[in-house]
Every structure is written in structure tokens, then in C-alpha cells.
Structure 1
Amino acid sequence: MGDYEAGTATFIGIIFGIVMFLFFGGVFIFVFVGFLATYLTREEDRSSSVGAIATLILAIILFIYNMIMGPEMPYWISSMLGVDMFSFVAGFLLTCFLAVCLGGLGGFLAVKVSCGGKTEQVG
């Protein structure tokens, strides 16, 4: 369990996410980054929103990277493509939504794991 501020833990999670993206790819990375960023924060600052924010930032970075480094296509296919702002915006919003949900799930799992056997008695 780490003892980092939320910003530092988010940065560490994003770095690990970029490295994992180079080797693995897939949506598992978003859950892992959310888990890692939440697990590394201090106990009093720990919440699933830390993981959600970390994965949102990672998703924006990966969206921009994949927008610049497009897939290789034959010329006859790429010549038929045009600019479609609706699909671009819808893809960006869907990517952000899924990243926040998966990062929040990873953060929730980290909060539950870090609690361990600690339970508060009421009354």
C-alpha cells in the first residue's frame, strides 16, 4: 500500500498504463490503472474517483495517440474516407465514459482490498 498524494499516484498509474498498453492492449489496462492509482493513494484520500480520473486522463492520451497514428490502409480505402465529426465526438465520449466506468471499478476494488478486515461497528 502506497503513501502517495492523489496526483502522484495518478501519474504513476498513467505511466504504468502506457507501458502496459505497449505490451498488452485492451480494456484490462483501464481497470488496472484505476486499481493502481487508488491503491497507491493515502488512506484518508482513497476513493474510486482517483482511479476514474487516472483512467480518464489515460484514455484521452491514448485517444489522441490513436488518432495521430491511424491504421495502415490501402489507398483505395483511405481515399473514400472523409471527416465525420459526429462519429469522432461520439467515439471520444464513449471512450471517456467507458474509461471512467472501468477506472471507477478498479478504484472500487482497490478500496475494498485495502480495507481488508477493517469494519466499523455502529451503535
Structure 2
Amino acid sequence: MYEVLMVVYLMVSIGLVGLILIQQGKGADMGASFGAGASGTLFGSSGSGNFLTRSTAVLAIGFFALSLIIGNLSANHVKQGDAWNEINSAAEQVVEQAPVTEETGTNIPD
């Protein structure tokens, strides 16, 4: 379930970025408005949203919903065996198995 949600989350995020990149900004028509004599429409209402803006809104809602769901699942996710917690016990086993040699003299060269 978690892996499926991660794949869907990835697809929604890629689709959201793609839709945002192909949309034309609101300021793109400003330069044309000055020369055409339609300066009243420069900052006027843009009308109803078209297909791209509506689909971007739907994908954004899906992105946020999936973020919350995946965050909730990963917060309650219990890891079975964490290797970092077992390092001390493995090191103690190695120390216990290492042969202890006694030094009979000093090995300092003259």
C-alpha cells in the first residue's frame, strides 16, 4: 500500500510540475495590452478558469492529500530491524571473541 501511494505521489508531482510549466503567466499579455488600446483589461478579471488551471487545482489538492496520507503512514511505520541499533551488540561480540595475548616485555627498538 505504501509503495503504491509513493508511486501515485510521484506521478501526481510530475504531472503538477508539467502543468505549471506549460501554463502561460498572467503577466504575459501585459505588453500586448498597452499597444492594442485595451488597457482597461490589463488588470481586469480573467474570467473563468480554463482546463489547465482547473486540472492544476485538482492535482494540487491530490498532492496535498497524498502528502498528508503518506506522512501519517510513515509516522506510524515500525521498522523491523534497525541495523544501526545492533552495532553495539555486534561490536561486543567481536571483542569477546578476540584472543587476548599477554605481552612479556617491551618491544621498543633501541
TM value normalised by structure 1 = 0.27
- The structure that is helix-richer by fraction is 1
Q: Highest CA radius of gyration, 1 or 2?
A: 2
TM value normalised by structure 2 = 0.30
